[in-house]
Amino acid sequence: FNDSGTSYGNEVSFTTDPAYTAPIVSTIAVTDVGAISATANGSVISMGHHSLITEHGFCWDVNPNPLKTGNCTRQGAMFKPVSFTGSITGLIPGETYYLRAYAVNGTGTSYGGQKIFTTDPSGSSVLTGAVSDISTTMATGNGYIDLSGGGSVSQHGVCWGKSGNPTLSDSFSEEGGLTKTASFTTDIKGLGAGITYYVRAYATGPTGTTVYGNEVSFSTPSYPSVSTQPATDVTSESAVGHGTVVTLGSPHPTRHGFCWNTGGTPNLSDPFVEIGPVDATGAFTADITGLLPGTRYCVRAYAVNAAGTRYGQEIFLRTENDSQAPASLPALILILQD
Q: What are phi and psi of 194, to 5 degrees?
A: 70, 35
- Its domain, for residue 51, covers 24-118
- 334 located within any domain: no
| Residue 141 CB neighbours (<10 A) | 28
- Given this model, what pLDDT does residue 19 score? 74
Of the listed ranges 119-128, 129-138, 273-282, 284-293, the least confidently predicted one is: 119-128
- Give strand pairing partners of 203: 156, 211
Model confidence pTM above 0.75: no
- Given this model, what pLDDT does residue 323 score? 67
- Given this model, what pLDDT does residue 328 score? 45
3-state secondary structure 252-290: CCCEEEEEEECCCCCCCCCCEEECCCCCCCEEEEEEECC
Using the 8-state DSSP alphabet, how is residue 307 labeled? T
Nearest of 239, 220, 238 to residue 229 by alpha carbon: 239
Task: Assess whether 213 and 287 both reside in one domain.
Answer: no
pLDDT for residue 41 is more than 70: yes
Q: Alpha carbon of 103 to those of 65, 84, 128, 228: distances in Å?
A: 15, 11, 29, 35
Of the listed ranges 31-35, 103-107, 255-259, the least confidently predicted one is: 31-35
**For residue range 74-111, what is the model confidence (pLDDT) as tens digits?**
898 888 899 999 999 888 888 999 999 999 999 999 99
Of the listed ranges 248-257, 280-289, 296-305, 328-337, the least confidently predicted one is: 328-337
pLDDT for residue 44 is more than 90: yes
Q: What are phi and psi of 258, to 5 degrees?
A: -135, 150
Q: What is the CATH number of the domain that holds 85?
A: 2.60.40.10
Q: What are phi and psi of 117, to 5 degrees?
A: -145, 160
- 269 located within any domain: yes
- Given this model, what pLDDT does residue 268 score? 97
Q: If you average pLDDT over residues 199-219, what whole number do you get? A: 94
Rounded to 5°, angle at Cα 111 from 106 and 113 = 155
Instruction: Write down the mean pLDDT value for the chain.
Output: 90
Quote the number of domains for the chain: 3
pLDDT for residue 333 is more than 50: no
- Given this model, what pLDDT does residue 336 score? 36
Last residue of a domain, one of 88, 118, 148: 118
- 239 located within any domain: yes
